[in-house]
Amino acid sequence: MNDMTQTRLEPCEIVLTDAERQRCEVWTRVMGYHRPVASFNIGKKGEYFERRFFEEQRAGLGGTEHPGRAGAPAADTIAAAA
């Protein structure tokens, strides 16, 4: 072993001045390809900022509702009623 394999790095706080910082370029998918948001025209920027983001939930099994339609009965309850 050498000295490099036994090196322990201690965490240190990174402090940047405003002169050292740079803007983060945000890209998004529009019309089938990716483009930077900064290059959008006024209308497209407005559409981008009006977007709603969501997170899909994992599908559950054994529930009483049909997974495709909210409020629809499950297939087993329809078969039992027939």
Residue-wise pLDDT for 22-79, tens only, equals 989 999 887 788 999 999 999 989 998 998 888 888 777 765 555 555 555 555 555 5
Would the pTM of this model clear 0.75, i.e. be above it?
A: no
- Rounded to whole angstroms, the Cα distance separating 36 from 45 reads 11
Tokens of 49: 């900022």
Hey, what long-range contacts does 31-37 have (CB within 8 A, 24 or more apart)?
A: none
Q: Which helix (H) or strand (E) holds 47?
A: helix 42-50
* Residues forming a β-bridge with 35: 28
Domain boundaries, the chain: 24-52
Give the residue-averaged pLDDT of 5-27.
85
Q: What is the mean pLDDT of residues 17-22?
A: 91
The neighbouring-strand residues paired with 65 are 73
